[in-house]
């Protein structure tokens, strides 16, 4: 088998394992998709992967319903570095302003990968995951119910994830207001950072990231 194709299959498997193991609550297995210095960014969380695993576990045990579904993937390889982009949806169910609702957000996972030797074996794992939020919507579970969103609160959030952010803010989460969307300078800067990573940059970030404090 062509070596590059083999690497792409290994990276795609890690991406798929991320979604399956996280959503199923397989926390020990979920930890193996990350390098020790792995970093996760989301609307409601920015911080080390180890901390993300712990807050996700607590949420799972407390009934927080956030699920992921994956689509097509593209992998750029350069030596022992890779950037993987994977189409995805994030689905979260919760009560919003007195009504039970589902929010569905469509976007991409933009993953910084590196192949490192772990316990004598070369393994591809995630160094940084940055979702790109393209569009979202909110649907009531009861078709006869009526939901009136606060327009002032809704208008505070970017178009790519405004309904997801609205729901999460109502649950008490602090939302990051400048996440990458389908277009714009923020996502272009992410693409540029990805190319620097492939070219051998020491870090997947332009500047040291700041944890959200969750």
Beta pairing class for 99-118 and 81-96: antiparallel
Q: What is the pLDDT of residue 31?
A: 98
Q: What is the pLDDT of residue 189?
A: 98
Distance CA(103)–CA(87), nearest Å, equals: 17
Q: How many CB atoms lie within 10 A of CB 20?
A: 13
Distance CA(83)–CA(33), nearest Å, equals: 15
CA-derived radius of gyration, the chain: 18
- 14 three-state secondary structure: helix
Q: What is the pLDDT of residue 65?
A: 94
CATH number at residue 99: 3.10.450.50
| Any domain includes 177 | yes
CB-based contacts of 182: which residues, under 8 Å, 6+ apart? 107, 132, 134, 135, 160
Domain that holds residue 134: 3-187
In our burial notation (b when 16+ CB lie closer than 10 A, e otherwise), range 155-192 reads: eebbebbbbbbbbbbeeebebbeebbbeeeeebeebee
Q: What is the pLDDT of residue 213?
A: 65
| Any domain includes 149 | yes
What is the model's pTM?
0.96
Query: Total domain count for the chain?
Result: 1
Q: What is the pLDDT of residue 1?
A: 63
| Residue from 42, 81, 76 nearest 165 by CA | 42
| Any domain includes 151 | yes
| Any domain includes 76 | yes
Stretches in the chain below the pLDDT threshold 70: 1, 213-214
Distance CA(52)–CA(78), nearest Å, equals: 28
Q: What is the pLDDT of residue 214?
A: 67
92 phi/psi in degrees, rounded to 5: -125, 135
Torsion sign across C-alpha atoms 75, 76, 77, 83: negative
| Any domain includes 79 | yes
| Any domain includes 165 | yes
| Any domain includes 199 | no
């Amino acid at each position: 088998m062509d070596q590059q194709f083999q690497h792409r299959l290994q990276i795609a498997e890690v991406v798929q394992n991320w979604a399956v193991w996280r959503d199923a609550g397989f926390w020990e297995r979920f930890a193996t998709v990350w390098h020790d210095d792995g970093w996760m960014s989301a609307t409601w969380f920015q911080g080390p992967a180890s901390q993300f695993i712990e807050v996700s576990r607590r949420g799972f045990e407390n009934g927080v319903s956030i699920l992921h579904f994956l689509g097509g993937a593209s992998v750029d390889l350069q030596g022992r570095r890779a950037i993987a982009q994977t189409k995805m949806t994030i689905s979260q169910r919760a009560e919003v302003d007195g009504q039970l609702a589902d929010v569905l957000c469509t976007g991409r996972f933009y993953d910084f990968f590196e192949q490192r030797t772990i316990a004598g074996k070369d393994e591809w794992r995630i160094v940084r995951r940055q979702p790109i939020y393209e569009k979202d919507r909110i649907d009531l579970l009861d078709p006869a119910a009526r939901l009136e969103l606060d327009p002032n609160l809704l208008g505070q959030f970017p178009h790519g994830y405004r309904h997801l952010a609205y729901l999460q803010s109502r649950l008490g989460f602090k939302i990051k207001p400048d996440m990458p969307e389908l277009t714009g300078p923020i996502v272009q800067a992410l693409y540029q950072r990805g190319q620097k990573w492939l070219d051998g940059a020491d870090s997947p970030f332009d500047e040291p990231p700041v944890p959200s404090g969750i």
